[in-house]
A and B are shown apart, each in its own frame.
Chain A
Amino acid sequence: MTQGKTGTELAEPPKKPVTVSINGNAYRADEGECLLTVAERVKIPIPHFCFEQSLEPYGACRLCMVGVVHHGKTVMETACTLRAKEGLTVLTDTPDIVKYRTILFELYLAEAPKSAVVKEMAARYGVTKTRFLRRVDTGDPLGGACILCGLCVRVCNEIMGAGAINFINRGPYTVVNTPFTEPSRDCYGCGACAAVCPTHAVSLEDRGGERILHSWSETKVPLSQCVSCGKYFAPAALEKSVLSRIEPPLRDDLEGLCPACRAKKLAKKEILAATGGDPGDA
């Protein structure tokens, strides 16, 4: 867990409106706002893999490079780490950026040859081939689609607080997995990693009363069964952790119900109350 502030928090306090220029057009932004967010809002495409609003800027994918114009000189910086301020002037497609971005995309195409997302994004920037040797790893639990953006690791550690997965090895041998590539005992099975993964590399499935995280060393997490309808609805550990954190606690009579049954029960109660029926055994 880092003690640092998240991307949004950093942008928060001043809220002073400023004008920034992107590709020659002026846009309003809040002072301190992340430039990548500003660009997304005004629909100027800047490719990126490792940015997520709720996390600190990470600066790893290097795709979001823009040219910052300052005193007539253009310096490349990552848009995710760039903060809006009055007069900030950036260009998203200078010849240098186009040149370097092409190589970066080619590196991604070679690193994650199985990723449709990478292929699509690269193609949008005119890159359809790679000069570099493609990785072939038939046994890769991430199916040859991971580009090591670190989002799954960060979400698991910083947001969920589970710390079930991390980087293993370093340099070109880096992979993401559970410690010692053994099934994790810390994993909630929440699936936040899969949800956040830009290349849909994380594979998990619900089978019977279990959620199986294929990518994370086949970690198996038991699912809670609804006491009313009998459906499996959420990983048990996650349910427990969430229940322990809500204030005031969930009413006893709603415990063990899946969201659908919970809603049904609440609705029924409301109706009975409105029609003067007896809510006691609802």
Chain B
Amino acid sequence: MTGVFDRAAGEVAGQKKILPGKPRIAVGLATCGIAVGGEKVYERLQEIIKKTGVDISLAKTGCIGYCREEPLVNITIPGKPLVILHKVTEEDAEGIVEAVKKGTVPYKKALCRVPSWDHVTGTVITYGNGFDEIPLYADIPFFKHQKKVILRNAGFINPEDIDEYLAVGGYAAAEQALTRMDSETIISEVEKSGLRGRGGAGFPTGMKWRITRDAPGAAKYIICNADEGDPGAYMNRNEMESDPHMLIEGMIIGAYAIGAKEGLIYIRAEYPLAIRRLVHAIGEARALGLLGKDIIGAGFDFDIRIATGAGAFVCGESTALVASIEGRTGRPHPRPPRLTDPGGGLWGIPSDLNNVETWCNIPVIIRNGSGWYAKIGAEKNAGTKVFSLVGKVDRVGLVEVPLGTSLNTIVCDIGNGGAQGKKVKAVQTGGPSGGCIPVRLFDTPVNYESLNAVGSIMGSGGIVVMDEDTDMVDIARYFINFATGESCGKCVPCREGLRHTLILLNRLIARKGTAKDLETLALLADTIKNTSLCGLGQSAPNPVLTTLAYFREEYDALVKP
């Protein structure tokens, strides 16, 4: 063991970093912030602070998810509310430091203020009062309708400093689980919470844990699915970049409950920053005795390794994922055997696979109790879900809402409808293989069953908004083109069927199609959905089937009478 875990000491150290007793400037540096110049802002601030010798602490944070307003910078002046500045550029750096030196903030750059922040797992950080002219966080329409549970720390703490995670109640759940709970209690808590897998299919997490634990053989693996292959989806990326310890803590608790000594995070190589932060966080956790031998002195051994994938969409499918980790071609195989079956998991060992966000839900369930958790969300759809709201929407960003929230709230209230005042026509949920839902069905609550009922899926949480200018047949073609390229080629409906779907769509768009082609298109899409081997083929025709159902007139208009 590398150290005796002392949560209280870390908590105190971390709180001194979050509230250092002097001004703190924190720059949002997740991939999104970096992409729009956050790093330059950070470097410029660093330079100025060094040159002028002012006593300001400069830090990095993850991302609060308001993509449209990036880069975001947080200012904390002792006794004052935390102020979030938006659309900050290098040129603003000088003015920011000047203002902070005088005990204030550049008002023109201020997005909102946060007098205190509830980190949900028992810790509320109180920043202070003042700056009354700046709107409150809770009054900002983009934030107002959200409920931050998973993203409770994102954008507030430094993801590269375990102390800051400890400061906001981090690892309290793991400590509680490992020292005061047994496997059965933990699993039944997760079951009672009603948590369902966030990777798309919504399988009850507690049940999957139980099946894995009870599978024959002493050895078990747990795996985190961080493949996130859907174009436009980046929830998992932000979760790992902004709060990597939340994932690690969830996995520690899961491993203990399931009886796994080893965990793996399967992450796409296209996420270098997330990988770096995870590697760093795993190192920090090992140093504190939270990973490795005899964790928290509870006599339990567990460690996490990272496996990088080559970023094929189909490798997110469970059996292909395992094949890919084992060094085989990432092609799905028929289930059973499932991963939880003997012979079916990683290296043949029963394995529990959960999505990043599923794992991230665990600490808060253990900390606040299943009863608390089950009250969030809707019937059979407990908890919150993070969505990436993208496309032709005014306020692009990562949105966390209770399950069961209507599409209307997400797209119109939070997203403020179409970009540039355009009318919204439809949304596509669930990534490339989700369905397109027309505006007239926007009172559909976003939960697993309701989305299926309208021909779409939850998927991992991508929401793509389409406006009045969007050509729905072209949209269908776009997604079919993507799926065709991502098909592994194993089974005929997906491999050949999608290719011919694309040919048919191209023919229609070139106005060379006939009514007969339309008929064939519908029948082919139906066949692919119902006969494909894995989830990729089974869901890939959804964009065609839903646009045919809801926007039939756009197809008919392309066909010669």
Closest to A77 in B: B334
- CB contact under 8 A between A107 and B489, given known A59-B334, A148-B495: no
One of A108, A167, A171 near B484 (C-beta < 8 A): A171
- In the complex, which residues 172-230 of chain B have their Cβ closer than 8 Å to any Cβ of chain A? none
Name the CB-closest residue of B to A96.
B530
Q: Which of A60-68, A202-210, A212-220, A225-233 contacts B (4 or more CB under 8 A)?
A: A60-68
Q: Is A241 an interface residue, CB under 8 A from the partner?
A: no
Chain A min CB distance to B545 (Å)? 15
In the assembled complex, A162 has its CB within 8 A of some CB on chain B: no
In the assembly, what is the distance between CA of A259 and CA of B496, in Å? 45
Segment from B49-57, B407-415, B497-505 that makes contact with A = B497-505
A170: chain B residues at CB < 8 Å are 312, 486-489
Cβ of A133 within 8 Å of any chain B Cβ, yes or no, is: yes
Interface string of A53-75 (1 = CB under 8 A from B): 00001111110010000000000
Question: Which residues of the partner chain B approach A166 to less than 8 Å between Cβ atoms?
Answer: 329
0/1 interface trace, chain A 1-42, chain B, CB 8 Å (1 if under): 001110000000000000000000000000000000000000
**A61 / chain B contacts, CB cutoff of 8 Å:** 491-492
Q: Decide if B512 is an interface residue (CB 8 Å cutoff).
A: no
On whether A131 and B520 interact (CB within 8 A), knowing A148-B489, A172-B499, the answer reads yes
Chain A 107-142, CB-CB to B under 8 Å as 1, else 0, gives 110110000000000000000000111000000000
Check A104/B493 contact, CB under 8 A, given A5-B343, A62-B532, A133-B503: yes
Cβ contact within 8 Å between A100 and B489: no
- Contact check, B492 vs A104: say whether CB atoms are below 8 A apart: yes
Cα distance A182–B467 in the bound complex, in angstroms: 51
Q: How far is the CA of A167 from the CA of B331 in the complex (A)?
A: 11
Query: Given contacts A131-B520, A171-B487, is CB(A147)–CB(B495) below 8 Å?
Result: no
* Residues from chain A with Cβ under 8 Å of B16 in the complex: none
- Given A65-B531, A100-B530, residue A172 in contact with residue B496 (CB < 8 A): yes
Cβ-based interface call for A192 (8 A): no
CB-based contact B500/A171 at 8 Å: no
Contact indicator per residue, chain B 299-339, by CB within 8 Å of chain A (1) or not (0): 00000000000001000000000000000010101101100
Question: Which B-chain residue is minimally distant from A108 (CB atoms)?
Answer: B492
Choose among A4, A60, A96, A169 the residue that contacts B490 (Cβ–Cβ < 8 A).
A60
Q: Point out the residues of chain B lying under 8 angstroms from A76, CB to CB.
A: 530-531
User: How many residues of chain A get a CB closer than 8 Å to chain B's CBs?
Assistant: 36
Q: Closest CB-CB distance, B421 to chain A, in whole Å?
A: 40
User: CB-CB < 8 A to A58: which residues of B?
Assistant: 333-334
Bound CA–CA A99/B489 (angstroms): 22
Report Cα–Cα, A83/B28, bound state, in Å.
Answer: 55
User: Which B344-393 residues have C-beta < 8 A from chain A?
Assistant: 348
Residue of A nearest to B507 (CB): A133
Q: Are B490 and A3 interface neighbours, CB within 8 A?
A: no
Q: How far is the CB of B516 from chain A (nearest CB, A)?
A: 8
Contact assessment for A107 and B493 in the assembled complex, using a CB-CB cutoff below 8 Å: yes
A107 near B486: Cβ-Cβ < 8 Å: no
Does B524 have its Cβ within 8 Å of any Cβ on chain A? yes
CA distance A169 to B348 in the complex (A): 27
Knowing A4-B343, A150-B490, A174-B489 touch, does A110 contact B333 (C-beta < 8 A)?
A: no
Q: What are 25 pairs between A and B in contact, CB < 8 Å?
A: A57-B334, A59-B533, A60-B533, A62-B533, A81-B336, A96-B530, A100-B527, A103-B527, A104-B492, A104-B527, A104-B531, A107-B500, A108-B492, A131-B520, A132-B500, A147-B492, A148-B490, A150-B490, A167-B331, A171-B486, A171-B488, A171-B498, A172-B484, A172-B499, A174-B495
Residues of A within 8 A of B (CB): 3-5, 57-62, 65, 76, 78, 81, 96, 99-100, 103-104, 107-108, 110-111, 131-133, 147-148, 150, 166-167, 169-174
- Which residues of B line the A interface, CB within 8 A? 312, 329, 331, 333-334, 336-337, 343, 348, 484-493, 495-500, 503, 520, 523-524, 527, 530-533
